[in-house]
């Protein structure tokens, strides 16, 4: 029986993010075009003979143990299936933390998938997604992966055909934003019609395989809150556009910015330029990757021994 698993927990960007309304219970109803990217956290899981869940990460500021969403994912299945064996989980984080790329959610999603395999629980992807939503609204999407329309509070998913391929430059400035605070400061009723991104048009462009259609409609309503508070986000977007990006946008509630490039050479040049900009101060974490295609760039995932 498999005792050891290596998994990749991929990050996401939002090609489109709209907030439709604030519900009476305080939650925001969203319409988002979710897209997995090739940047991932590496997760190693080991089944142990004695009970107990242990989570460790390579970053001192990410909680180990119970504070980690991955721990809660393992706990959820351990309790439900009354598992007697424990599990050791090691997370090597590469996805910017608190960056708007669903880093914690994707680690939790990977751990649900890993627990299912390590302990032969026999749960379908759908069954794992149903459990994932208890950990966070983005967790089901992180299990699904690829390109998807996300509605409701983020839990209602419609898979879409893969978005047209392109290179992705990711950059996170050295600032922290709280997702809760960003949504809290969004005045949905005061938004102008032009501030709402065209999510239905974006969905159609993806179905038509039109990269230009996607690029024309890149939009994130949360930029109206985050960019005035943190002008460096706007400066990174501007830098990417001036250095060959065909489009640039903040992901999720930020502060990570992504730029989309039609060609690899232009993307590489912008990557190097951004790393040097202001002697590396404009953005400390800069990554070059591609859109993730299920079954495409994940062939080496899930190795076990």
Q: Which residues make up the interface to ligand ATP (CB under 6 A)?
A: 62-63, 68-70, 91, 97-105, 107, 138, 179, 252-253
Question: Of 63 and 294, which has the nearer Cβ to ligand ATP?
Answer: 63
| CB of residue 37 to ligand ATP, shortest distance in Å | 12
- Which residue stretches of the chain are H helix? 69-80, 103-118, 125-132, 139-144, 179-184, 199-207, 211-216, 223-229, 231-242, 264-276
**Parallel, antiparallel, or unpaired for β 86-92 and 28-48?**
antiparallel
Nearer Cβ to ligand ATP (55/205): 55
Residue 169: CB minimum distance to ligand ATP, A: 18
CB 255 to ligand ATP: min, Å: 9
Residue 154 vs 219, nearer CB to ligand ATP: 154
CA distance 76 to 73: 5
Q: At what angle do helices 103-118 and 69-80 cross, to 10 degrees?
A: 30
Residues with a known catalytic role: 12, 138
Kindly state the smallest distance separating residue 300's Cβ from ligand ATP, in Å. Answer: 22
- DSSP character string of 169-219: EEEE-S----HHHHHHT--GGG--GGGS--HHHHHHHHHTT-HHHHHHT-E
Nearest by Cα to 11 from 252, 259, 284, 266: 252
């Amino acid at each position: 029986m498999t005792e050891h698993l290596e998994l990749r927990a991929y990050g996401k960007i939002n090609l489109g993010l709209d907030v439709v309304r604030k519900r009476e219970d305080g939650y925001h109803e969203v319409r988002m075009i979710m897209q997995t990217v090739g940047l991932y956290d590496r997760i190693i899981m080991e089944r142990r003979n004695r009970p107990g869940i242990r989570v460790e990460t390579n970053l001192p500021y990410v909680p180990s143990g119970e504070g980690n969403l991955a721990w809660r994912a393992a706990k959820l299945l351990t309790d439900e299936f009354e598992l007697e064996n424990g599990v050791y989980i090691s997370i090597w984080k590469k996805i910017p933390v608190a960056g708007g790329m669903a880093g914690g959610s994707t680690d939790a999603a990977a751990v649900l998938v890993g627990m299912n395999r390590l302990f032969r629980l026999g749960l379908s992807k759908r069954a794992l997604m149903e459990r994932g939503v208890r950990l966070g609204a983005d967790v089901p999407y992180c299990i699904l992966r690829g390109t998807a329309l996300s509605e409701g509070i983020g839990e209602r998913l419609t898979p879409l055909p893969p978005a047209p391929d392109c290179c992705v430059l990711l950059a996170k400035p050295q600032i922290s934003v709280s997702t809760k605070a960003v949504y809290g400061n969004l005045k949905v009723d005061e938004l102008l019609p032009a501030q709402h991104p065209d999510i239905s048009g974006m969905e159609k462009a993806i179905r038509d395989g039109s990269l230009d259609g996607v690029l024309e409609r890149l939009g994130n309503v949360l930029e109206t809150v985050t960019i005035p508070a943190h002008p460096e986000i706007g400066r990174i977007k501007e830098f990417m556009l001036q250095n060959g990006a065909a489009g640039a946008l903040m992901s999720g509630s930020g502060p990570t910015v992504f730029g989309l490039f039609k060609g690899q050479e232009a993307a590489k040049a912008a990557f190097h330029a951004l790393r040097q900009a202001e002697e590396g101060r404009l953005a400390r974490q800069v990554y070059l990757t591609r859109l993730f295609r299920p079954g495409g760039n994940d062939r080496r995932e899930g190795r076990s021994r």
